[in-house]
Amino acid sequence: MIRTEGLTKHYGRIAAVEDVGLEVRDGDVYGFLGANGSGKTTTVRMLLGLVLPTSGSIEVLGRSMPGSGREVLPRIGAMVEGPGFYPQLSGRANLAVFDASGPGRDRPSRAGRIDDALAQVGLDGVDRRPVRAYSLGMRQRLGLAAALLRRPRLLVLDEPTNGLDPQGIREIRRLLLDLNAAGTTVFLSSHLLTEIEQMCTRVGVLDRGRLVLQDQLEHLQRPTGRTVVRTPDTDAALALLDGHVERQEGDTIWVRADDPLALNASLVRVGVRVLELGPERHTLEDVVLQAATASGDRR
């Protein structure tokens, strides 16, 4: 769906993006993670042909960009750097203008598609209010509705939950996952670790313009080889597990154990009350920090 090789953008002597090789596969919910100022938005703008790269190649939906933009862009829904609308017009009117400006629009079906898009993002009850009266979160929803008008194969979103309250974030997350389940590939740029962890199947991490990590999320969060045990009977557990304990904090013990089921059985057998027992996994936060540190050390 998206592939780049050696993607680079320089502004004078400043390297905003350097030698980025993205691989977004059909069916992914791809999390493009990085701190503010890391080069995420510049990369997204290059993918959509809004900014020309200094060097490197871009392929989107199997076609070279920006040369094939006329063919590719109508099949993409995008929201980059926050939505821009006519403030005096309603949400519905803004969507009608947006839809009419695109190539190959089917006018007879426009009203129905606008209705569907507004309903999907939870704005069907307020679409006649002028956009100048919208909150930031409502503008984000309207921007997402504009992206969905095309019923796209690929959805490219830059910080789509910016300004939303927790309930709104949950609703947008559910919507994006439903769209993905129905066949839409989602490319989600964000600086929020929790957003990426809860939604994405594949992750790319950008640090100071360089892609320092790219892998399946389930692989990044693989087990560490330790088992976490929570018990109120820490003294009894420590005595039994002497020589295998690597760490203890309060009622939580980290144990090096090959067989968690056998470990649980041995604790219960001697009367240790087990509140929780399971494999420890690498956190995305730890993986990202390690990758960024390693990249910094190589520079």
Average pLDDT of span 153-182: 89
DSSP assignment letter at 18: E
In this predicted structure, what is the pLDDT of residue 163? 77
Share the mean pLDDT of the chain.
91
Domain spanning 223-281, CATH architecture: 2-Layer Sandwich (3.30)
Name the least confident of 30-34, 78-82, 89-93, 255-259.
Answer: 78-82
DSSP per-residue string spanning 46-82:
HHTTSS--SEEEEEETTEEETTTHHHHGGGEEEE-SS
Tokens of 109: 């079906």
Give tens-digit pLDDT for 185-202. Answer: 999 999 989 889 999 999
The structure's pTM equals 0.84
Q: Where are the domains of the chain?
A: 2-220, 223-281
The C-alpha atoms of residue 133 and residue 102 are separated, in whole angstroms, by 26
Please report which confidence band the pLDDT of residue 164 belongs to, taking 50, 70 and 90 as the band edges: confident
Provide the CATH topology of domain 2-220. Rossmann fold (3.40.50)
Q: What is the signed CA dihedral for 81, 86, 87, 89, rounded to 10 degrees?
A: -140
Give tens-digit pLDDT for 87-125. Answer: 999 999 999 988 876 655 566 678 888 989 998 888 887
